Structure 1
Amino acid sequence: MSGCGAEKGLISIDEALTLMRSTPQTLMTETLPLGECLNRYLAQDVFSPVDLPSFSQSAVDGYALHTTAEQLQDSVFHVIGEIKAGSDAEHRLLDGQAIRIFTGGKVPEGTTHVARQEIVAIESDQKIRLVEHIKPQADIRFTGEEVQLGQTLAEVDQKINIGGLAALSMAGVQQLNVFKIPKVAVVITGDEVAETPDDLKAGKVFDANGPLLKAWFKDYGLEVEILHIADEASLVTQCFERLKQQFDVIITTGGVSVGDYDFVRPCAFETGFEQIFWKVKQKPGKPLFFAEYKHNLHHCYLLGLPGNPAAVYVSMQVYGKVLLDALQNQRQDIQWFNGILTHDLKSDARERFLRMHAYFEHGQLKLKSLTKQQSHMLSNLMQANCLVRIPANEMLEAGRELSGLFIIS
């Protein structure tokens, strides 16, 4: 077998993912106010400091009642007051008494039922009559029926999403112990970036990698520093020397292959980085480079991406996310989905990540490949919503089940 798929030294996608997942040293933890913890990963279990509800309360607008009668339809009650949500319930109900109460209001001592106002007929200012029968304890939210004091609300490694943040806030949680988020620097290498349309005539191209990575990290939830460095070894070395001390991760684009101006690897070695792997048997993104710098307790990881924008995009969706998650103690396998290919596909010597459009049809997830898959092309990302793994050296027919990954927006 010949061709780039048979090149010696290439590791598989799964081998690369395993190294990316297992190598990083988990970052330290920090305690933050709850409102600053959206999309952060918990470093400690969270226990409820209160019962929820913290007091028995009305589930409806209506009347709290006290009665020993078994049949309540047409029963008449004497109204002795009113309780709004947030007010103290100082009243004690006796048999035959009622009190006007609103949703969330604390039910007074002696309450046996709460009657929603739709089944209450007002006889006078101080008398009501029930027009329907209700069961004991109707429409009362009892203390601790949702959550009890000391109950586990969230566990280590759980991601705090919007719903989780709201649930913890309702329970009175004020702060959380979470893993620190990585400090990331992005280095765009190359001399070919065009500033204006006129620059295209001089053989330059517009920068897609800078905006792509800035948007990707914003979607992930990180602010990053983006630098542009010319293809000069001394400048790349100086850049790495500075960044390795200040950041947890350096992401580079371009300069990781074997060309005369590919300085990322030699400059990384010169500044103390040790190679974890280089070159993956995949398409796009074969010359992917992963290295680690260690000094005392500080670790910095360098993820060198090829310069072609599709390779940058695919590599960040697959490897970039795995690296950033691992630094926050998230080391589980990627959760691939399964879908049905809707057309035939030619074989390739390397395993591929193809940009596809996934959609449901008759209860099945279908996969449609998009045109213009070359590593320098991005236009199909306007339609793509997933990356699909295509096995190497196989002709695929329509109906084949494949594994895919829904991509960060």
Structure 2
Amino acid sequence: MSGCGVEHSLISVDQALKLIVEKTQALSVESIPLQQTLNFYLAENVYSPINLPLFSQSAVDGYAICAKDEIEAEAVFDLIGEIRAGQTTDLFLQQGQAMRIFTGAKIPVGTTTIARQEIVDLLDLNQIKVIEQLKQHADLRDVGEEIAIGQCLAEHGQQLSVGAIAALSMAGIQQVQVYQYPKIAVVITGDEVAETIEDFASGQIFDANAPLIRAWFAQRNQQVDIFHVADTVEAVKTLLHDLIKSYQLILTTGGISVGDYDFIRPVALDLGFEQIFWKIKQKPGKPMFFAELSKVDQTHCYLLGLPGNPAAVYVGMQIYTATLLNALQGQKQLPQWFQARLSHDLKADTRERFLRMSAHFEQENLTVKSLGKQQSHMLSNLMHANSLVRIPAHEQMQAGQIVQGIFI
């Protein structure tokens, strides 16, 4: 170390993210029911086993008509029957005939066009009159016009959204191969957590980290197991030793710096974890720790240690935990940063900063504005922030400069 506040062992944000992507091994593949796959990543291409539509059908409520040519207004047709959605008929249409039909119903043989009911007058029980000119093939859905048998519906690595699940369900897909989602343990360290207002008198504080992390995962349709551990070597070692057996990812908050009661890193190393990195040149969240344990059954357990300050935890979740979770599910991708214009000047800092900002459009340009109360122990500005913005180290930023960020 040389120079006030300089630590040469610190790595950059981009280096840390690259190490997460390169060092993390994807979990195994499993086959699960489609209805359980929200936000999972596909481990296969999915092909349609059917045509969509399955058969040629009516797009509207109206009348199936058989006519050789375009139908002129006031044309009359003989009505020979009715067919509803979900039904079939042995009747077939001949020239000059029509059949009452409803949306989604399979068209009878001989149908050349559909007359929607708004342009049809019922003359009697046996005849209709089309009151407007009608082209051939109007309001007909052809078999396979949306999807053909064997067509690729979804690709390997695609994340399954609500819309994707609906589309696959429509094609009759019931089971898919996905990357296994890790079983995650969250360890909240510290003796200072308050449970009631009265606890403040003894110097304790309310825990924001556990609710923050639980909600972060719930937003992604995932659950985690949360543990609290006292600031002793024995307690930390006993808990981590037990968690290694059942979890693929251990996420910790606090206890990873160089204080007298920061035991996560030394205990993890003592248990056999191999350090991948420790300390990132960023603010907030410098003392971040990432390590891997190779187990005798050839599987792995990863430990991502986040600082204890809530703002650092939030940054760690949005930037590093998200990247790690993707890598565990076979997605070797770095965060997708947006570009925006800074609306005001910013002073330089020795470390790269992640600032909570408000992003909005001004005259078609995405613009970001920093919010107050950016210290690592403060979270109140998250009520208004919708982005985390990267501010480079050692650079006096001017209004109008382009910066990178992610939406939160």
- Alignment TM-score, normalising by the size of structure 2: 0.98
User: Shift of the alpha carbon at 1:69?
Assistant: 3.8
Which amino acid letter does the alignment assign opposite residue 381 of structure 1?
L
Contact (CA 8 Å) 2:352, 2:390: kept in 1 or not? yes
**In structure 2, what is the equivalent of residue 228 of structure 1?**
228
Partners of 1:3 and 1:278 lie apart in 2 by 20
Q: Secondary structure at the match of 1:220?
A: coil
Which amino acid letter does the alignment assign opposite residue 213 of structure 2?
L
Partners of 1:55 and 1:253 lie apart in 2 by 57
2:216 aligned with 1:216 = yes
Partners of 2:348 and 2:181 lie apart in 1 by 40
The runs of 5 or more residues in structure 2 that have no matched partner are none
Off by >6 Å, runs of 4+ in structure 1: none
Contact (CA 8 Å) 2:53, 2:143: kept in 1 or not? yes
5 Å-filtered alignment, 1:362-377, equals 362-377=363-378
2:276 aligned with 1:276 = yes
User: Shift of the alpha carbon at 1:220?
Assistant: 2.3
Matched positions, count: 406
Q: Secondary structure at the match of 1:265?
A: helix
Percent identity, please: 56
2:155 aligned with 1:155 = yes
2:320 aligned with 1:334 = no
Partners of 1:15 and 1:114 lie apart in 2 by 62
Which is further off, 269-278 or 25-34? 25-34
Partners of 2:351 and 2:4 lie apart in 1 by 10
Q: Secondary structure at the match of 1:213?
A: helix
User: Shift of the alpha carbon at 1:338?
Assistant: 0.9
**In structure 2, what is the equivalent of residue 37 of structure 1?**
37
User: Shift of the alpha carbon at 1:183?
Assistant: 0.4
Which amino acid letter does the alignment assign opposite residue 133 of structure 2?
H
Which amino acid letter does the alignment assign opposite residue 390 of structure 1?
I
**In structure 2, what is the equivalent of residue 387 of structure 1?**
388
Partners of 1:199 and 1:53 lie apart in 2 by 64
Which amino acid letter does the alignment assign opposite residue 235 of structure 1?
A
Which amino acid letter does the alignment assign opposite residue 31 of structure 1?
S
User: Shift of the alpha carbon at 1:2?
Assistant: 3.2
Q: Secondary structure at the match of 2:219?
A: helix
Which amino acid letter does the alignment assign opposite residue 399 of structure 2?
A
Which is further off, 359-368 or 374-383? 359-368
Partners of 1:70 and 1:293 lie apart in 2 by 73
Contact (CA 8 Å) 2:390, 2:404: kept in 1 or not? yes
- Alignment TM-score, normalising by the size of structure 1: 0.97
5 Å-filtered alignment, 1:232-381, equals 232-295=232-295, 296-381=297-382
- 1:307–1:72 Cα change, 3 Å: same
User: Shift of the alpha carbon at 1:149?
Assistant: 0.5
5 Å-filtered alignment, 1:186-205, equals 186-205=186-205
Partners of 2:359 and 2:338 lie apart in 1 by 11
User: Shift of the alpha carbon at 1:117?
Assistant: 1.1
**In structure 1, what is the equivalent of residue 407 of structure 2?**
406
User: Shift of the alpha carbon at 1:221?
Assistant: 2.3
User: Shift of the alpha carbon at 1:71?
Assistant: 4.4
Partners of 2:93 and 2:12 lie apart in 1 by 74
Partners of 2:4 and 2:372 lie apart in 1 by 23
Which is further off, 215-224 or 376-385? 215-224
User: Shift of the alpha carbon at 1:359?
Assistant: 1.1
Q: CA-atom RMSD, angstroms?
A: 1.1
Which amino acid letter does the alignment assign opposite residue 139 of structure 2?
D
Which amino acid letter does the alignment assign opposite residue 332 of structure 1?
Q
5 Å-filtered alignment, 1:107-126, equals 107-126=107-126
**In structure 1, what is the equivalent of residue 104 of structure 2?**
104
Partners of 1:91 and 1:150 lie apart in 2 by 32
Residues 158-193 of structure 1, C-alpha deviations (whole Å, 9 max, x = no match)? 111111111111111111111111100000111111
Partners of 2:352 and 2:174 lie apart in 1 by 48
